């Protein structure tokens, strides 16, 4: 069974930065990524708040550069989902994926968070046929058409603004009457002639057939009024849930399912670190995730020095 | 590694529908990040399934007809055909092991 010094679970900003630090410290490092390196930023059109890029930078390109940088120093990337994680009696960790088992002296979990689903009829059936969690992937298919964007946070507005380059109208459906999104995004959305705000409203059902989404059934939460809005797509940005299932039973989780860590990203299990959006009280910003990844890698480095001094 | 050949709306009938071997078509566009992640995996698969299955790519920006005929509203999407009939649809980026499983399922139908 292949053994690494540091195994990193998740190849987003936190994981790729942890990999860069770990590999650059000459540790045998592996990153497991179940989907796309970059995580959430990989599908972000323009990242405007990562320092050093005054013009903004394409999220996918930035992630690819982070990956190249980690690989340049020797980090390995395996595109496979880690199914189980446990700690053996000798203190080393065992990870299993579809392809097999791996061992690691230290583990950094940077599994991030996934967008929540609405949980309404039609959502699963119409995924890929107009129901989407990725505007940069799918917006271009709705040129000149009316679409709905559900949510009121940064993601909803950011992605909604992207969709408005293609769609003739973007209906923002929000269950409250105020937005959580940052002021700069709110200003842009209000100034956008293609944006329409539908307040205090939830989606009850997504209608459609083989040909795709044909509309959403809406309900006003104050008046209980119900109506149908014809749209050809529904982009859903209603918050995220941490991918902490690997950690369940292993480390303490907070009420939202995020791992509890100290300021050095250490969990209650020696040698197991958690960084980025999957940890408690994360800022959920790329630059913060990267910072977390560096902190975790340095703490892991110190753990390895102390626990395996002969190997150093 | 063999890069799958680009096909078009015009060549779809001959390349896919009339193909004796099963076919996988990778629908992509230059602006789609996840598509750039799928491409090398599909290229590897095309080597592994050489002689058993043909692999093609179709740019959805340049070829509107076939994507609209199959209701493609999200890319990357991979469609699997056998004897000209659609046997499998895979939407979004999946790890290679997942793709192989889905391809094998579609081929056994």
- Residues 112-151 in A contacting B (C-alpha not used; CB under 8 Å): 127-130, 132, 134, 136-138, 140-142
Residue A90: give the domain boundaries: 2-114+240-307
**CATH number of the domain within which A104 lies:** 3.50.50.60
Q: Is the peptide bond before A38 cis (omega within 30 degrees of 0)?
A: no
* Shared-domain flag, residues A221 and A153: yes
* Shared-domain flag, residues A123 and A15: no
The pair of structure tokens assigned to B79 is: 């469609």
* A36 belongs to a structural domain: yes
pLDDT value at position B1?
Answer: 65
Q: How far is CA B72 from CA A140, A199, A307, B41, B60, in A?
A: 11, 31, 53, 20, 9
Q: Which residues of B touch A57 (CB under 8 A)?
A: none
Using an 8 Å Cβ cutoff, are A99 and A80 in contact? yes
Higher pLDDT, residue B39 or A146: A146
pLDDT value at position A54?
Answer: 95
Q: Which residues of B touch A213 (CB under 8 A)?
A: 73
pLDDT value at position B98?
Answer: 85
- Tens-place pLDDT, residues B42-100: 999 999 999 999 999 999 999 999 999 998 999 999 999 999 999 999 988 887 888 99
* A217 belongs to a structural domain: yes
Q: Does A170 touch chain B (CB under 8 A)?
A: no
Using an 8 Å Cβ cutoff, are B87 and B78 in contact? no
Q: Do B97 and A132 touch (CB under 8 A)?
A: no
* Shared-domain flag, residues A24 and A52: yes
* Shared-domain flag, residues A277 and A215: no
pLDDT value at position A128?
Answer: 86
| Closest residue to B74, CB basis, from A38, A137, A210 | A137
The ranges assigned to domains in chain B are: 5-108
Interface test mutation site (partner B, options A33, A58, A137, max chain B beta carbons within 10 A)? A137
* Shared-domain flag, residues A131 and A105: no
Q: Which of A207, A236, A265 is a domain's end point?
A: A236
* Shared-domain flag, residues A125 and A226: yes
* Total count of domains within chain A: 2
Q: Do B29 and A140 touch (CB under 8 A)?
A: yes
Q: Which residues of A touch B94 (CB under 8 A)?
A: 35
Whether B35 is a known active-site residue: answer yes
* Shared-domain flag, residues A57 and A76: yes
Using an 8 Å Cβ cutoff, are B50 and B2 in contact? yes
- Find the catalytic residue in A138, A154, A277, A292: A138
* Shared-domain flag, residues A75 and A123: no
Q: Does A184 touch chain B (CB under 8 A)?
A: no
CATH placement of domain B5-108: 3.40.30.10
Burial (0-12, 13-18, 19+ Cβ within 10 Å), A190: exposed
Q: Which residues of A touch B92 (CB under 8 A)?
A: 128, 137
C-alpha span between A285 and A122 (Å, rounded): 31
Tens digits of pLDDT across chain A (312 residues): 999 999 999 999 999 999 999 999 999 999 999 888 899 888 888 898 999 999 999 999 999 999 999 999 999 999 889 999 999 999 999 999 988 999 999 999 999 999 999 999 999 999 988 999 988 889 999 999 999 999 999 999 999 999 999 999 999 999 999 999 999 999 999 999 999 999 999 999 999 998 899 999 999 999 999 999 999 999 999 999 999 999 999 999 999 999 999 999 999 999 999 999 999 999 999 999 999 999 999 999 999 999 999 754
* Shared-domain flag, residues A196 and A298: no
C-alpha span between A192 and A168 (Å, rounded): 11
Distance from the A45 Cα atom to the nearest Cα atom in chain B, whole angstroms: 9
pLDDT of B2 strictly over 80: no
* pTM recorded for the entire structure: 0.84
* Shared-domain flag, residues A245 and A109: yes
ipTM: 0.76
* Shared-domain flag, residues A158 and A68: no
* Shared-domain flag, residues A58 and A165: no
């Amino acid at each position: 069974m292949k053994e690494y010094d540091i195994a990193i679970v998740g190849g987003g900003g936190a994981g790729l930065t942890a990999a860069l630090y770990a590999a650059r410290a000459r540790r045998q490092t592996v990153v497991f990524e179940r989907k796309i390196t970059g995580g959430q930023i990989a599908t972000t059109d323009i990242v405007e708040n990562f320092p050093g890029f005054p013009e903004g930078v394409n999220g996918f390109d930035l992630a690819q550069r982070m990956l190249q940088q980690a690989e340049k120093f020797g980090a390995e990337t395996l595109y496979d989902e880690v199914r189980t994680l446990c700690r053996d009696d000798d203190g080393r960790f065992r990870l299993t994926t579809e392809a097999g088992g791996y061992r690691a002296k230290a583990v950094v979990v940077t599994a991030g968070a996934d967008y929540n689903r609405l949980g309404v009829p039609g959502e699963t059936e119409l995924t890929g046929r107009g129901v989407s969690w990725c505007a940069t992937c799918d917006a271009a298919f709705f040129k000149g058409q009316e679409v709905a964007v559900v949510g009121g946070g940064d993601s909803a507005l950011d992605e909604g603004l992207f969709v408005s380059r293609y769609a003739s109208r973007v209906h923002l459906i929000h269950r409250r009457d105020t937005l959580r999104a940052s002021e700069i995004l709110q200003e842009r959305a209000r100034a956008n002639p293609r944006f329409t705000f539908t307040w205090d409203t939830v989606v009850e059902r997504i209608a459609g057939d083989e040909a795709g989404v044909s509309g959403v059934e809406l309900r006003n939460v104050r008046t209980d009024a119900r109506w149908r809005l014809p749209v050809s797509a529904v982009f859903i940005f209603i918050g995220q849930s941490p991918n902490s299932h690997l950690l369940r039973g292993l480390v303490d989780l907070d009420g939202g399912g995020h791992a509890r860590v100290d300021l050095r990203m250490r969990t209650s299990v020696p040698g197991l670190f958690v960084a980025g959006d999957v940890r408690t009280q994360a800022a959920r910003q790329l630059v913060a995730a990267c910072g977390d990844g560096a902190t975790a890698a340095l703490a892991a480095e110190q753990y390895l020095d102390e626990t395996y001094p002969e190997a150093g | 590694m063999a890069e799958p050949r680009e096909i078009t709306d015009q060549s779809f009938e001959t390349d896919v529908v009339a193909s004796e071997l099963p076919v996988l078509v990778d629908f992509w566009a230059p602006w789609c990040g996840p598509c750039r992640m799928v491409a090398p995996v599909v290229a590897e698969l095309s080597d592994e399934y050489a002689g058993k299955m043909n692999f093609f790519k179709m740019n959805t920006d340049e070829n509107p007809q076939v994507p609209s005929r199959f209701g493609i509203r999200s890319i990357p999407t991979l469609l699997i055909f056998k004897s000209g009939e659609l046997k499998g649809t895979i939407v979004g980026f999946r790890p290679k092991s997942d793709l192989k499983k889905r391809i094998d399922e579609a081929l056994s139908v």
